[in-house]
Amino acid sequence: MMTSRERLLAALNLEVSDRLPATTHHVMPYFLEKYMDGISYPEFFEHFGLDPVFWVVSHKPDTAAGDYYDPSQGNPGFLQPRYVCSDNWRIESEAIPHAKYREVRYRFLTPSKNLSMVLESDVHTTWVSERMIKEKADIEIFARYAPAPLCDVENVNKQVEEIGGKGMIRGTIPGFDIYGQPGCWQDAAVLFGIEALIMQTFEDPEWVHSFLKIIQTRKERFINSLAGAKFDLIEHGGGDASSTVISPKIFDDFVAPYDAPLIDLMHRNGQKAVYHTCGGMMPLLERIADMKPDAAETFTPVGMGGDVDLREAKKKIGQRMCMIGGFDQFHYFIGCSPEDTRREVRRCFEEAGEGGGFILSPSDHFFDADLELVQAYADTAHQCLY
């Protein structure tokens, strides 16, 4: 019988494990507080008998460039890094009264021009309500002054040692410190807005390319600092690069040319990459595989707004990379019978499990779930034997 770590890594290496590996993509603090009396992340996996995935986020400033940790930041939140700033990029935050949400304005003070961004939060999550890049010339301010974080390899490895081989260790290419995501296109969409970014691919494609190159250069610096970090998998990409958001042509012209070189750079620094598209994937499957990540996720089914046919996806790319996801948590973690949940797990295994290389997981995170159904999910995966 394999350990959880052995089982997950076997699937990542396209090998057959003893049974279907089953995990989840993030365990949200809201869910743990509301449904499980605030138990810890490791206790969640132990409680249900799921294969643990541990997320490690540890950034540091490039002190040689004069960067330092933001002294005004409080304790980092869920999967939040410590912010990096400099004398030419200082961060101020201000709470804004709001009737419904927690709202915070961030100001970025530079010698040339100050930029700003507003985040809103509720008990579930946080989102951007005001974009930082408001004028096209703002990307030059961003490029000139915004520090790029490095990986704190020593701290990462210390955390990995404390975890002690109990599961897979995942990290992520950093997005913009205040609110960003791993992929170049995805980070640009966060900073400028996805609708506006799509329009600019038609109206001013050279500006979009310039923007993406700035973001790519920042991420290259982080990836080049990853050597020696004991991650098992690094997340790349983002849902705004899915086929339910953009066309295959935009993917070819503006996503792959910037994200694929970062995957290659991760490999050269001894890391494996998973490409995350929480949305439509079917028209992009071979394009994603051509970027040569070691895994892809989330294989969101039609019932959740995606378009994935797991059987067809396995046929097209299952021999080229590990597949992670495929489970419909909206319909089978709440409001159904345990047998419905068990049937959904077996469907995923039958359609994508053959020959290994498949990790069962909800298609991205979830907030609400019936504990009985989460247990049925885990127990049924234990019965899916190779």
Residue 281 φ/ψ, nearest 5 degrees: -135, -25
Query: pLDDT 10s digit of each residue in the chain, 386 long?
Result: 899 999 999 999 999 999 999 999 999 999 999 999 999 999 999 999 999 999 999 999 999 999 999 998 888 877 788 999 999 999 999 999 988 999 999 999 999 999 999 999 999 989 999 999 999 999 999 999 999 999 999 999 999 999 999 999 999 999 999 999 999 999 999 999 999 999 999 999 999 999 999 999 999 999 999 999 999 999 999 999 999 999 999 999 999 999 999 999 999 999 999 999 999 999 999 999 999 999 999 999 999 999 999 999 999 999 999 999 999 999 999 999 999 999 999 999 999 999 999 999 999 899 999 999 999 999 999 999 99
- Residue positions counted in the chain: 386
CATH classification of the domain holding 356: 3.20.20.210
CA Rg value for the chain: 21
Residue 377 forms part of a structural domain: yes
The residue range of the domain holding 378 is 4-60+144-383
The amino acid that residue 74 corresponds to is G
What local confidence, expressed as pLDDT, does residue 72 receive? 87
What local confidence, expressed as pLDDT, does residue 75 receive? 82
CA distance 148 to 169: 23
Domain tally for the chain? 1
ω into residue 298 within 30 of 0, thus cis? yes
Residue 114 forms part of a structural domain: no
Residue 180 has which token pair?
A: 């960003």
Give pTM, 2 decimals: 0.95
Residue 12 forms part of a structural domain: yes
Residue 245 forms part of a structural domain: yes
Residue 107 forms part of a structural domain: no
Residue 67 forms part of a structural domain: no
Residue 345 forms part of a structural domain: yes
Residue 256 forms part of a structural domain: yes
